[in-house]
């Protein structure tokens, strides 16, 4: 039996980007398009008291994410989440994570 395995980069190459973002004006979707690679995994966490977090995994639909707001409370959202593109990702308008004057920290792996 033949197996087909698809890889997007050599197995010995890991591309990692991290950063922080603070929205100081009107909340808007924010594009991180200067990473230089297509992420396979993205995690965005609000650093405020709620600690809301979004995670996107390769194969998930655009604008979707696994969302965690409180301990043990996880859901899958299909809108306002994370959309990956060839140079980075877009952090959507989820109201628990993307909040005016609250800082988020993010990690992208490619």
Domain range holding 83?
A: 16-109
Q: Is residue 9 part of a domain?
A: no
The whole-angstrom separation of Cα 65 and Cα 57 is: 8
**What tens digit of pLDDT does each residue of 96-108 get?**
898 888 889 999 9
Q: Is residue 62 part of a domain?
A: yes
**What tens digit of pLDDT does each residue of 22-41 get?**
877 766 788 888 999 999 99
Cα dist from 70 to 3, 41, 93, whole Å: 41, 21, 18
* The pLDDT of residue 87 is above 50: yes
How many helical (H) and strand (E) elements, i.e. helices and strands, does the chain have?
0, 8
Q: Is residue 49 part of a domain?
A: yes
pLDDT for residue 1: 47
Q: Is residue 46 part of a domain?
A: yes
Q: Is residue 11 part of a domain?
A: no
Ramachandran sector of residue 88 (left: φ over 0; alpha: ψ -120 to 50; beta: rest)? left
Q: Is residue 97 part of a domain?
A: yes
**What tens digit of pLDDT does each residue of 39-77 get?**
999 999 998 867 799 999 999 999 999 999 877 789 999
For residues 81-102, one letter each, b for 16 or more C-beta atoms within 10 angstroms of the residue's C-beta and e for the rest, the string is bbbbeeebbbbbebebbbbeeb
Domain count, the chain: 1
Q: Is residue 80 part of a domain?
A: yes
pTM of the model: 0.85
Average pLDDT of 79-101? 92
């Amino acid at each position: 039996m033949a197996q087909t395995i698809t890889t997007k980069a050599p197995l010995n190459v890991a591309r990692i980007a991290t950063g922080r973002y603070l929205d100081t004006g009107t909340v808007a979707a924010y594009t991180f398009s200067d990473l230089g690679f297509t992420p396979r995994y993205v995690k965005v966490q609000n650093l405020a008291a709620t600690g809301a977090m979004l995670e996107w995994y390769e194969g998930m639909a655009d604008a979707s994410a696994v969302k965690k707001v409180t301990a043990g409370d996880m859901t899958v959202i299909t809108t306002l989440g994370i959309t990956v593109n060839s140079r980075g990702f877009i952090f959507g308008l989820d109201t628990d994570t993307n909040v005016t004057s609250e800082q988020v920290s993010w990690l992208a792996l490619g």
